[in-house]
Structure 1
Amino acid sequence: MKLARAIHFDESDTRVFHSPARTGEWCLSGGFEFSNWSDGDLVGKAKQAFTNGWMGLETFGRTTFVAVAQLEPFEREALAKSLAQHFVSIYGAPSVEAAMGTALDEIDQMIDLCEDHPPNTLLTITRELTPAGVKESYGMIEPQDAGIDQFAVHGSLDDEPHQH
């Protein structure tokens, strides 16, 4: 099973997003955040988060790039609980239990997106607002022979805690 982690090549995410994701945290699309947005919401840093931001599952901040990585089955459940709590705290879901199904669906959509890519594949996201709602599309950059470790800024992975 695979998911994706926030990765940074420079400090640009700290300048373009209100709340940048932490390097190394697990991520998903997070498109649900924009489900009720209109053109009037698409300004400044909010527009950047909408247009090109993956959502971290620890900070709920945004990152431009994610890298595919191996996910252990026990981590999926913990991430879903964290996301379900986010749905309660931010979006008014009645309980973590009630939000678990939606949280698992969001995580499983991201797992499906990552599954066919080798580890260290970089993924990008682009969103646009259409009359039918938010449209997401994904880009992929295959791992190079030199290795992503030579270019990326990595954070500690010690305390580890989607698509429409």
Structure 2
Amino acid sequence: MMLARAIHFDESDMNVFHSPARTGEWCISGGFEFSNWTEGDLTGKAKQAFSNGWLGVETFGRVTFVAVTRIEPAELDALTQALAQHFVTIYGAPSVEAAMPAAREELNQMMEMCEEHAPNTVMTVARELTPAGVKESYRIIEQRDAALDMFAVHGGD
């Protein structure tokens, strides 16, 4: 199974997001956060999070770049539980049990995207508001000559 971890090429995420994700934490798109947003919500650091921020599923901070890497089943179970709890705490889901299907769906969507790519493939997300809602697109940056660990840290066991 593959999922994505937050990576940082420099310190810019620390300055552009209200709450930056921690290097190495597991990430998903997190576009659900913006489902009810309007143009009026797109200002300052909130606009940056909307425009190109992946959501860390440990700190619930944002990051610009993620890298594909292998995830263990136990880690996935813990992330699913944490995301379901986030849905209860922040979005008012009635219980963790009721939120588990939505949490699984979010993580499965990200895993499906990651399964198509080799480890260390870097990805970015871009969002825009449309009359139909939030539209997301993804950019894939394939690993080339240099090893990713030569210029980015993305965690590991």
TM bin (shorter chain): over 0.9
Which amino acid counterpart does residue 15 of structure 1 have in structure 2? N
Q: Which residue is 2:12 aligned to? A: 12
Equivalent residues, number: 157
Residue 117 of structure 1: SS of its match in structure 2?
Answer: coil
Alpha-carbon contact 1:25-1:157 (below 8 Å) kept:
no
Q: Which residue is 1:21 aligned to? A: 21
- The CA deviation at 1:66 is 0.1
Residue 144 of structure 2: SS of its match in structure 1?
Answer: coil
TM-score (normalised: structure 2): 0.97
Percent identity over the alignment is: 70
CA distance in structure 2 between the partners assigned to 1:84 and 1:129 by the alignment: 26
Which amino acid counterpart does residue 101 of structure 1 have in structure 2? P
Matches within 5 A, 1:1-164: 1-152=1-152, 154=153, 157=156
Unaligned runs of 5+ in 2: none
Alpha-carbon contact 1:25-1:56 (below 8 Å) kept:
yes
CA RMSD of aligned residues (A): 1.1
Which amino acid counterpart does residue 20 of structure 1 have in structure 2? P
- The CA deviation at 1:145 is 2.1
Alpha-carbon contact 2:6-2:154 (below 8 Å) kept:
no
Q: What CA deviation, in whole Å up to 9, does each residue of 1:84-130 have, x standing for no partner?
A: 00000000111100000000000000000100100000000000000
CA distance in structure 2 between the partners assigned to 1:137 and 1:36 by the alignment: 18
Which amino acid counterpart does residue 57 of structure 2 have in structure 1? L
CA distance in structure 1 between the partners assigned to 2:40 and 2:117 by the alignment: 36
Alpha-carbon contact 2:67-2:154 (below 8 Å) kept:
no
CA distance in structure 2 between the partners assigned to 1:116 and 1:155 by the alignment: 19
CA distance in structure 2 between the partners assigned to 1:107 and 1:141 by the alignment: 21
CA distance in structure 2 between the partners assigned to 1:71 and 1:116 by the alignment: 14
Residue 109 of structure 2: SS of its match in structure 1?
Answer: helix
Q: What CA deviation, in whole Å up to 9, does each residue of 1:21-54 have, x standing for no partner?
A: 0000000000000000000000000000000000
CA distance in structure 2 between the partners assigned to 1:156 and 1:122 by the alignment: 14
CA distance in structure 2 between the partners assigned to 1:156 and 1:66 by the alignment: 11
Distance 1:155 1:29, change over 3 A: closer
Unaligned runs of 5+ in 1: 159-164
TM-score (normalised: structure 1): 0.93
